[in-house]
Amino acid sequence: MHVPSFLQIEDSPRPGDPYSATYVHTVTGLPARARVLWWPCSSPHVNPELVVLFIPGNPGCIDFYIEYLSVLHAGLSPRVAIFGKAHLGHVLGKHNTVPHFELTSLGAQVISTLCLRKSLHDEYPSAKIVVIGHSVGAWIATRVLEEPQIPPVVTLLLFPTLSNIAQTPNGVKLAWLFWPSTALMLSYLAFLIMFIPKAVFKLLFEDWPENQLLILQRFCRSPFSIAASLRMAREEMRTIIDLDRTLLQKHRSCIYLYYALTDDWVGLERALVIDVLGESSQIHVASLPHAFCINADHSRKVAQKSIEWLLTIG
């Protein structure tokens, strides 16, 4: 098996599981380390014909999406490779050794994603590149679309937050959470969360599966991760405002959108996007929650639709 030159592999997983890796790169002149989950081609000793780059929402813990990405990988050609990239600073351990807090900004996350996108293109120059983003990851995916040198073949936007996040029902209701003082207080509280037993987390998040609850618990016990996530969210509220109608119209043939029937992180914005693109088979609306990745059944349903779309590109 050929290991991508830009990844540092950390383990040998069980069959079917992804490789855990580190992507070492530079963002605005600063050294950065991103956690990446890699599903190589099922066929050994071949280069991929199709490469999928997945961008998470916020929090950007890529482990939340293992079920979705595993089903996606299993349902596509044996010559498909998938790379799921966590946001800088949104994970535990050595991946969180970010020397500058500036690397956790929304802009830095975009640049970091563009770096990986270029690394994929350089490693697999003949492969088709697909970019999939969830929530704010979908907005980041649209920034990748604006990269003129290596545009992706297809872009899947899952429960996308493309405009006016601060004006959505959740944006209004949770505005206090993104104040700098609140973020500082919550990051300090992470030290107290370390002493909260898992049983309490189960009571608070009773619908969450055991594996996802463990990821959440580990995330909440990291002061740096909490501060990074809230800092990024605060910038989302200030940055993601006007819908980029020109971009949507320009790339309408390669954009696919998956919406929730009711989504308090999207609100009325879905209607604006459909007004620009028109009703089509490239827009799907389903009765699923915004945080689809928490539930295995929801993840499988979104993955099946994603597979259906990706199979159309050959």
Tell me the CA distances in angstroms from 191 to 157, 179, 200, 223, one per residue in order.
35, 20, 16, 7
Q: Report the alpha-carbon distance of residue 219 to residue 235 in Å, rounded.
A: 20
- DSSP code per residue over 6-74: TEEE---PPTTSPEEEEEEEEETTEEEEEEEEEE--SSTT---SEEEEEE--SS--GGGGHHHHHHHHH
- Give me the sheet containing 128-134, strands edge to edge: 7-9, 19-27, 30-39, 80-85, 50-55, 128-134, 154-158, 255-260, 283-286
Rounded distance, CA 192 to CA 190, Å?
Answer: 5
Residue 297, CB half-sphere, CA atoms under 13 Å: how many?
A: 6
Q: Would you give per-residue pLDDT tens digits along the chain (314 residues)? A: 789 999 999 877 887 789 999 999 999 899 999 999 999 999 888 889 999 999 999 999 999 999 999 999 999 999 999 999 999 988 765 555 555 778 889 999 999 999 999 999 999 999 999 999 999 999 999 999 988 777 777 999 999 999 999 999 999 998 887 777 776 676 666 666 666 777 777 777 778 888 888 888 888 777 788 888 988 999 999 999 999 999 999 999 999 999 999 999 999 999 999 999 998 899 999 999 999 999 999 999 999 999 999 998 76
Cα end-to-end span (Å), the chain: 24
Residues 36/84, Cβ–Cβ less than 8 Å: yes
